[in-house]
Structure 1
Amino acid sequence: MAFSQCVGNDAWRQTMLEEMKRELSFYPDVQFIYRDANGSNERQVAQISDLMRRHVDLLIVSPNETQPLTPIVDSVFREKIPVIVTDRKTGSGLYHAYVGADNVAIGRLAGQYIHQLSSKRLNIGMISGLGGSSASIERQRGLRKVVDSLPSMRIGIALEGDWTKETAYRLAKANLSELLKQDVVLAFNDQMAKGVQQAYTEAGHTDRKILGIDALPGEGNGLEAVNKGVLYASLLYPTGGAEAIRTAIAILEKKPFIRDNILGTVVIDHTNAALMALQSQKIKDQQEDIDKRQQLIATQQEVYKNQRTTLNTLAVSLALAVAFGALSLIVIRSNRKKNRNLEQQNIEIKQQQQQIISMSKQVQEAADAKNRFFAQVSHEFKTPLTLILAPLNILQTERQLSAEGREQLHRIERNANTLLQLLQSLVDIHRSDNTKLQLKATCTALPAFIRQVLANFKPFAQHQHISLSFSNQSTVTEIWIDPYLMEQALSNLLANAIQFTKERGKIAILLEDNSFGDFIYIRVQDDGTGIAPSDIDHVFEPFYQSQPNHQGSGIGLAHVKQIVELHHGQITVSSKINVGSSFTLRLPVGNAHLSQEEIYRLPANAPPEQHGIAFATDQHDLSSFYSHKAATIFIIDDHAEIRQLLRSIMNKQYNLVFAKNIGEAEEKLRDQLPDLIISDIMLPDGSGLEFLKTMKGSTGLSHIPVLLLSAVDSEESKLDGIRLRADAYINKPFKVPHLLAMVENLLETRKQLKAHFSSIPQGVHNSMQDHSSMSDQDKRFLQHVELLVEERLSDQKLTTEELAKALQISRVQLYRKAKSLLNCSMNEYILQRRLTKAKHLIREGFHINEVANEVGFSSANYFAVAFKKHFGQSPSAFRKELFKR
């Protein structure tokens, strides 16, 4: 239950609130919310709106004025929240009940009482309340009805107050001469009547007849003023607080109630004021006695409740103690007997444990040997397969090839692929029997991840004229998965979809949310041959092959199911023959379902200078070795024929540099920087992954994209490559178009970065020292600074402090470094780059306002001043000079 009071600081409304609380003391289960608007209509409307949002069960409203509160009270009524209006009514009448006195009757009674004071003609002075309040309007109406009906009475002066004593006092002072001409003054509440009395007293007129309305009990209120003779009389205006609560309880309990509760009134003057004051005091004393008794009852009930709880606890504890005591005796006797048997069993178990440890060591040694064998076999088989399939791809593109020759090449390709599938089946079976998959989940951008997996299959799909598409209907942008394992799962599903989809078919991946947002669905759909109903219940079983002519190990979908369940998810399939199939992965969102062991945390890399290799980064040295017309690719592979194969398929497009091992690669990288590195994983003098870790940790080489090309088809190697920031990973044997497409994509990304880095024209570095005298470390520092400044050149908020933070040095260090290398401060350097680029953009035909915004100036005027100061002429003059040329 809630009560919205227009103003709560006057005595009448405080009395109303006290009556409500007094009545509510009989209903301890009712929660009472009180809001005081302090006389502001806007604030009261806002408070009632807040109470609506809190879904109160019933609202009692005491409006300040009629019209401003009518719309919000109507809204509460339409929301089917019971509304009780008290004291003053609203304009529409949309409420469940009204509690208050009949203000028209009060005005009429006041007129009748004044008429009885004298048989002579009477002049009445009227002090009304706020003009917009229903109480003021109705009281005036009742008074004027009496005055208009009696020729012996008239209203001489009518003043409008705001129900406060201070305002009435100021009005009386200002209109004292007119008020003194009146025989009687009627104020619409006792406080305003006391304000008029104060003005009269200060003027020396203490015998004037002043009437008020309210007759509230208590110190300083109307009843006391009448009793002491300060006011001549006052009309009782009951607050109705108790009646409002009673009506509210009847509504909440769905009992009958009266809609219009009109409270009675009476005139209080010197004849009955003492009696009314005595009754009021008696009621107050009785209520205080009731409150004390209720508090005592509540205290006794709490004591009783605590004692009863304690007694029940003691009884239950005693019963449990007896039961446990008896049970303990039985258990002790049983344990003594079991302990003797266990001692003998422990001796036997220890002997068996020693035997198991010995056997486990032998089994582990055999397993390690087996693993090494499979790794070596995979590497040795896949390298010659690469040397068979890659040249085949090249020969098949020859136009002069005869039909018979092309058929022979297709026959060689089919048999080589069969050999590759047999090898893969052998490896898969070994993995399924001996490998325990472990989840190492990281927070992954799922849409980008799916697009990356799809990109790997586009060459195969295009070759068969199959459409690949991706639709993202999910609001989830990140998900916790093991990227390597999930790529295996999606790749397996896509490979199956491509295999069983005819030419010009369609394959789609759909990303959707479930209705609760706690799971996400990844659907792989195709319009291929479909799966027979008899096979659909067995497709996830190991070694099951639904089609007799299907070549493979038969464990692909079983492996996918294992990966999905490892992610605490589910996989389902639906299919129709000659219509297509749909595989749905249901994966949980967030990481609350993952244990600490299942969440992968990448260890912090050591600082670049601790890797033991000092790499040169001066790109200008490349000009003496390579042509600027082609990108430079560094190939690291210990197999001579692989190097020769890559040379034959790439030397027409790119500059190539070769190395047989890590030592040779490190030596060559000291003198030159390639645009791309292709590296095998298994190298004679160490792991290619260790070289990748060293290179990605180096400031001078970390920006170079790395493509891992290896016959090692182990989960650990791929996962380590991803964690060490490898940009791509291709297994041997590889398809030549696939390799070339991957190389082209990586180089294009590198080219875009270089184009962005060098977008400032020549002439920017006029203030720099000669590069030839700088150390490699200083050159790397300047390259980093140039890249950071260029990326944020249009940002008006770019400061030296932000640059220092990005460079991980202090502001003082950055200032000293800039002075040493650039011969100017960092702010001057930024300004110089902005102005030089601005000059370049003006040459390109951009508008001056666009140029100012593009190079980070806050206004065109400031840009013009800086440009003229630096180049000796304004931007517009420079632009006109260009047009003349």
Structure 2
Amino acid sequence: MIQRTKPASLIQEPIPHIQQDSLNFLVTALILTTIFAFIACYLLYQNYRKNKQLELKNRESLKQQEELIALSTATQATSEAKFSFFTHISNAFRVPLTLILLPLDEMLDNKNPLNIPKQQLNLIHKNVQRLLLMVNQLTDFRKIEYDKMKLELTCQDFVAFTRDIISSFKALALRKNIELKLSSSDKEIMVWFDKNMFDKVLFNLLSNAIKFSPENGRIQIRLKSDPADQTVEIAVSDSGNGMTEEEVKHVFELFYQADKGNFFGSGLGLSLSKEITELHQGTINIQSKKGYGTTFYIKLPLQQEQASEKLLISTDFPVNPNQLSQYTIGILPDNLSVPVVAEQDGYLNEETLLIIEENEELLDYLKNSFKEEYEVLTASSNSVGLKLAYEMIPDLIITDITLNEQSTLQITPALKNDDRTSHIPIIILTANGDEAHKISELKQMADLYITKPFNFLLLKESVKSLLWNRKLLKRKFTNESPAAQHTVSLSRSDKKFMHDFTSVIEQNIANDKFNVDDIASSLGISRIQLYRKTKVLLDCTINDYILNRRLKKAKYLLINEDLSISEITYQVGFSSPTYFSTVFKSKYNCTPSSYKKQIGVNT
């Protein structure tokens, strides 16, 4: 039997062992990769969670840090506000205290206690009233701040209330010939308000209106009710000088004082008026333009939520005279005088003082106290004072440096950096007792810094001392003794002026036509300014100084040069040898020729 064999290709051979190992390796690798991937994802997730937690903690830390910074800033702001408050209020008290202490000191020094001028008593009374008003206003502020100001609301006729307050100001307005007019949309406007509180608002607005309105001016108070809106609007308009946009922005800020001219103010009144108005759930606004007057607008609700059921209709609103006097004191002087301007008495004293002080009463007091011994010039602003200083060249300046000076003009450096006025001693009178401010003024070469309130005797003796030092400066340039030239030192600007002054004379000493006008022209100042400047620095007239320089030069030439008397005469600016000899002999008790012979003998 024939057997068939299968083809070799059909015979199944076993899988090699290496392929089986590869398969096992791949499976194992896949399993391990899956495990490692899972572990990696788990670790990443845990890391993500930790990062989130750290981020959350960082946010909380930053938030706490910001809160601490905000708390620190708020604490610092509160501390600065308190410091600013006490600084302003202490400065506000200093001027009235000065005007009380000065006449009191004078009265105590008076040997005849029965002979007390009424003017001094009036000055004390005025400033006591001012202090009382400030104390009352500060008390009201404190009550409002701590929510202890409780309104006693009653329903009153606001037209009658306003009319009675206006009538209290009519006599004051009449003295300035100011028309004071009230107009109302209704004969009667019933409003819930506290009359004992809101009268302070109208007192303040009306006193300011009269204070800043010119003579023959006009003040109008308009009342208008709005039944639809359930409000009443009060508008107080004056014909004064108005305010700038910058002043309007800050007018209701505590202690802010706009340009108030010669009038005293504490910066409390309008701030308190705003607080009282808002306490009545009302609003107060201002509309003003420089040169066109000012209008205050107050809007009050006719009804009040916390109003009681008590309805009181009255047409009689008596005004407390003491309270009224606190608001009107100082608006007008005892006798209606002209505005404060530079004044000059009919006679001239040897030395001239310039007093610059914005408070009219203190300015008048200082002027009256010094006028017996000095020629006194006065100004109520830095700009006017600076102009007077340049024109009149006084011997000493007393100036007030206030916290609320609106002008950027700084009078001390302006005076000390100008050749015309650099030699003038400056005494600073100020309500600012801050040491940094004092150091700043002294760095700007102020000679003395006195804080209000001050002792007048101290001021008086300080003036005498500074003027005496100026007299020593005069001797520096006229005393021929070299030792005497070192007794008093000159400021840099005074040295420059004297150097330029003597240089001009030396350059023209041979010119017999040379005179004061030529010196003034060369120095670029007026004849009057030159006279007043040299009056302080020289103990002689300019012509005498020129003559002395000619004679000194002549002595030098007689001693050191081999020149004839005639040649020397013309070299030192004398018109003739005869005149030269006469002048030389009157000075040195011998003729030029005799002096030359004497020098020759001695040598």
- Considering the TM-score relative to the shorter chain, is it more than 0.5? no
User: So what's the TM-score if we normalise by structure 1?
Assistant: 0.27
Higher RCO (Cα < 8 Å, 6 or more apart): 2
User: So what's the TM-score if we normalise by structure 2?
Assistant: 0.38
| Rg comparison, structure with higher value | 1
